[in-house]
Amino acid sequence: MTVRTRFAPSPTGFLHIGGARTALYCWLESRRRGGEFILRIEDTDRERSTDAAVQAILDAMHWLDLDADEGPFYQTQRLGRYTQVADELVAAGKAYYAYESKQEIEAMREAAMAAGEKPRYNGYYRDRREARRDDPNRVIRFRNPGEGSVVFEDKVKGRIEIANGELDDLVIFRSDGWPTYNFAVVVDDIDMGITEVIRGDDHVNNTPRQINIYLALGARVPEFAHLPMILDKEGKKLSKRTSAVGVMEYRADGFLPHAILNYLVRLGWSHGDQEIFSRAEMISLFDITDVNKAPSRFDVEKLAWLNQHYLKTDEPESLVAEFEWHLQRAGVDVGQWPASVDVIVALRERVHTLKEMVERAKIWYGPILEWDEKAVAKHLKGANAPHVLEAAKVLLAECEWKPAQLHGVIEEIATQLELGMGKVAQPLRVAMTGTQVSPSIEDTIYLTGRDEALKRIDAAIALARG
RNA sequence: GCUCCCUUCGUCUAGUGGCCCAGGACACCGCCCUCUCACGGCGGGAACACGAGUUCGAGUCUCGUAGGGAGCACCA
């Protein structure tokens, strides 16, 4: 049988980091086993679902390049089917109408809690067979087995057993005419032929009741795998207040999609000591049964390390589009001097994110130069600085404008003036950037461009003498 | 409260009874390289939550304790 997995987010917000990992694991499991990956939008909560959120999730999935073979399917378009299945269940006596108001249910729950018991429905309408078609409180409840227990072998957590006595008759159709989550997922997963249900472990406790619905429907029960949560740095639930949670926020922060995927695949899963995984390696090596049971913390530092790893090792050309996306966001006109590829090559070993790269590259995209006082005092005020700058001014006006040739120019100045490389490079570096820190001096000069470099040298000479 | 789940360096993890006085990676510290910053190389500190038991032998098996998490909705 073909393996079919699905990612089924509810569109109540952006795709967050935990959702992205779930999606990745679903995707990987289907890919490795030659199966199919389905995307389904669980939008039955009409209050909280928004079109903007749907779009945000689709965009993020696309950016991460987690392509679905089918979908997106929308639960709101399948109402007829849910109604049909629920009616069948009622007709077969496996579900029934109930008419308590929300307040009555609430009172029932409080009474149970007060008595030190687990809050659950008391089954009042279980066998009353009342058909009050226009009662505004009418819901459909599933008749859960009262005896025995549900056992399933979770691919991550192992064997889980929950007594049916712990479960009550859950509502499968709300009084507003929409199905509830626990019912809609089961109907969908059956109809869509899902063989592996991979989701967050906040659903572990829902699984037994869902299995009972599968059984009542005479459907094959799929395999389950419940992923542990991703916590923040402090070990608390990830929240917007303490950390970035949206996948697209990480994009804005300058992370690469495959770096995020690589980080996520290693969060809760490993393959020996391997840290770096290409897409192909992830696909061939990942196995949902190897995923750890314990929750893990999200560590941006390690993500940053991976991000830099990819900045350093990817083909620079392949980074251009994403880099220019950031340049534009920063208000820089792309397409002018210097070429993005050259900037990337010069900076990729010095930054962890594309956002930082843009920050550092700004000195090459405009004539504005701020002079760092310490840098000026230390490297332009010395006795040698004017000579170095004058010599550079002459040689730079003539030479071929390529890093290798520029390197030759620096060496020539050093030889001529009998100075060490440091004495030559630092004044020039300050002249080019106004600071003491930049890529290699030849790259720095190259990226500045000849006209601008000469202007900056003049300015530096003035400063050196002033 | 009840049910279910989890527990190896600060963090992500390796480890499926002897190969472990616990290995790798991130972070941190030191040294080297060096035109600055980085990159890279080398080295360092740093963990089996606790307690019983099983066993010749336990990070690995069992049971307790402690701590953490999730669920108990006409939300997903």
For A116-129, what is the mean pLDDT? Answer: 84
The secondary structure of A81-104 as a DSSP string is HHHHHHHHHHHTTSEEEE---HHH
Look up residue A59 and give its DSSP letter: H
Q: pLDDT confidence of A466, banded at 50, 70, 90?
A: confident
Position A169, amino acid:
D
Does residue A136 lie within 7 Å of nucleic acid chain B, judged by its CB? no
Question: Please, are residues A388 and A409 in contact by the beta-carbon 8 Å criterion?
Answer: no
Identify the weakest region by mean pLDDT among A121-125, A154-158, A169-173, A352-356.
Answer: A121-125
Does residue A125 lie within 7 Å of nucleic acid chain B, judged by its CB? no
pLDDT of A18 > 80? The answer is: yes
CA A466 to CA A463: how far, in whole Å? 5
What pLDDT is stored for residue A79 in this prediction?
95
What pLDDT is stored for residue A182 in this prediction?
95
Identify the weakest region by mean pLDDT among A121-125, A241-245, A374-378.
Answer: A241-245
pLDDT of A241 > 80? The answer is: no
Complex-level ipTM? 0.95
Beta bridge partners of A296: A230
Active-site residue (options: A102, A233, A240, A302) = A240
pLDDT of A240 > 80? The answer is: no
What are the b/e assignments for A2-40, b being 16+ CB within 10 Å? Answer: ebbbbbbbbbebbbbbbbbbbbbbbbbbbbbbebbbbbb
pLDDT of A96 > 90? The answer is: yes
- A316-346 pLDDT per residue, tens: 999 999 999 999 999 998 888 899 999 999 9
* Residue A145 token pair: 């087995």
What pLDDT is stored for residue A146 in this prediction?
85
What pLDDT is stored for residue A46 in this prediction?
84
Q: Report strand pairing: A139-142 vs A95-98.
A: antiparallel
CA A446 to CA A433: how far, in whole Å? 12
Tell the residue number behind the tokens 């700058």, with chain if given.
Answer: A389
Beta bridge partners of A160: A152
Sheet holding A171-173, edge to edge: A95-98, A139-142, A171-173
**C-beta atoms surrounding A66 within 10 Å:** 21
Q: How far is CA A56 from CA A51, A142, A240, A265, in A?
A: 9, 34, 16, 22
What pLDDT is stored for residue A233 in this prediction?
87
What pLDDT is stored for residue A69 in this prediction?
97
Is this model's pTM higher than 0.90 or not? yes
CA A265 to CA A27: how far, in whole Å? 11
Question: Please, are residues A386 and A465 in contact by the beta-carbon 8 Å criterion?
Answer: yes
What pLDDT is stored for residue A71 in this prediction?
80
Identify the weakest region by mean pLDDT among A68-77, A112-121, A146-155.
Answer: A112-121
Does residue A437 lie within 7 Å of nucleic acid chain B, judged by its CB? yes
The secondary structure of A401-461 as a DSSP string is SSHHHHHHHHHHHHHHHT--HHHHHHHHHHHHHSSS--S-HHHHHHHH-HHHHHHHHHHHH
Does residue A10 lie within 7 Å of nucleic acid chain B, judged by its CB? yes
pLDDT of A116 > 80? The answer is: no
Q: What angle do CA A28, A41, A244 make, to 5 degrees?
A: 70
pLDDT of A243 > 80? The answer is: no
First CA to last CA distance, chain A: 81
In whole numbers, what is the pLDDT of chain A averaged over residues? 93
Tell the residue number behind the tokens 């520029």, with chain if given.
Answer: A406
- A44-92 pLDDT per residue, tens: 888 889 999 999 999 999 999 999 999 899 999 999 999 999 999 999 9
Does residue A48 lie within 7 Å of nucleic acid chain B, judged by its CB? yes
The secondary structure of A196-247 as a DSSP string is EEEEEGGGGGGHHHHHHHHHHTTPPP-EEEEEPPEE-TTSSBP-TTTS--BH
Tell me which nucleotides of strand B come within 7 A of a protein CB.
1-8, 10-15, 23-27, 34-40, 68-76
pLDDT of A300 > 80? The answer is: yes
What pLDDT is stored for residue A170 in this prediction?
94
CA A262 to CA A127: how far, in whole Å? 54
Q: Is A240 annotated in the active site?
A: yes
- Which residue approaches B38 most closely, CA to C1'? A350
What pLDDT is stored for residue A298 in this prediction?
94
pLDDT of A244 > 80? The answer is: no
pLDDT of A270 > 90? The answer is: yes
For A217-229, what is the mean pLDDT? Answer: 95
Q: Report strand pairing: A70-74 vs A223-227.
A: unpaired
Beta-carbon contacts of A326 under 8 Å, excluding residues fewer than 6 positions away, are: A254, A354, A355, A357, A358
Distance A82 CA to B3 C1' (A): 29
Tell the residue number behind the tokens 């009550």, with chain if given.
Answer: A168
For A343-353, what is the mean pLDDT? Answer: 97
Distance A257 CA to B59 C1' (A): 36
What pLDDT is stored for residue A454 in this prediction?
94
Q: Which nucleotide is nearest to A116 (CA to C1')?
A: B1
Helix or strand run (H / E) with residue A142? strand A139-142
